[in-house]
Amino acid sequence: MLDGCAITPHQGTAMADNHMLLETNEPRFIVIEGPIGVGKTSLATRLAHTFNSDLILEKAEDNPFLERFYSDPRHAALPTQLFFLFQRVRQIEQLHQADLFSPVRVADFLLDKDRLFAELNLDHHELILYDQVVDSLGLRPPTPDLVVYLQAPADVLMRRIMSRGIPYEKNINRDYLERLGEAYARFFYNFDAAPLLIVNAATIDPIHHEVEYEELLCAINNVNRGRHFFNPAAQSIA
């Protein structure tokens, strides 16, 4: 549990959105990460609204290979991966060109995790080619001030994916989500490139529940180094 939070559960959204940010040293570049269906984009969008900040989103719907990947991953993995890589390269360029004095920027992807998907989905020779492409690009992604890693089990992810009803996601299976979750856990187990807030996102809904959003926002504003955990369910049991 993080100390020093400026709000209490009974305070409303107006205070969270307008005043809470003045009472803490909020991070200027926040990245929201986690597996498919965990709520990255929704949380990033709401945080950007709260901080009145730039929002940088992974635009999966723009990838023309993604639908083919979910139905035939073996043959569509490489073009899918390369499309996302080049999309992120353009977004990194936008970050570098952004006003350095802008208050906050929020993104729903971390470039470093791109290889996580490459290792999960590409065969040996494809991975070698992918690494050669990455090396040739000479990428210099900005380091986040904070990474928020959202966790949820595969059953929760599957339920959320099915509920949002995106046609090309109907072929996502539980086994893939299990492997993806394990890959994320391994990645963040060794992650030390930025302060990290690990969130149990399985039992909270910070998009529709104001108190849960305020508590999470409070935690985000109070992490400036190291690794922290946000698990309201465990706190309520205790």
Q: Which active-site residues does the annotation give? A: 108
d(CA 219, CA 47): 13
With b meaning 16 or more CB within 10 Å and e meaning fewer, what string describes 144-178? bbbbbbbbbebebbbebbeeeeeeebeebeeebbb
Tokens linked to 165: 């009803």
Contacts of 85 (CB under 8 A, 6+ apart): 114, 130, 133, 134, 137
The 8-class DSSP code of residue 140 comes to: -
Pairing of strands 146-151, 196-200: parallel
d(CA 210, CA 218): 12
Residue 104: CB atoms within 10 Å: 19
Whether 65 and 83 have beta carbons less than 8 Å apart is answered as: yes
CA distances, 226 to each of 24, 31, 59, 101 (Å): 17, 15, 30, 25
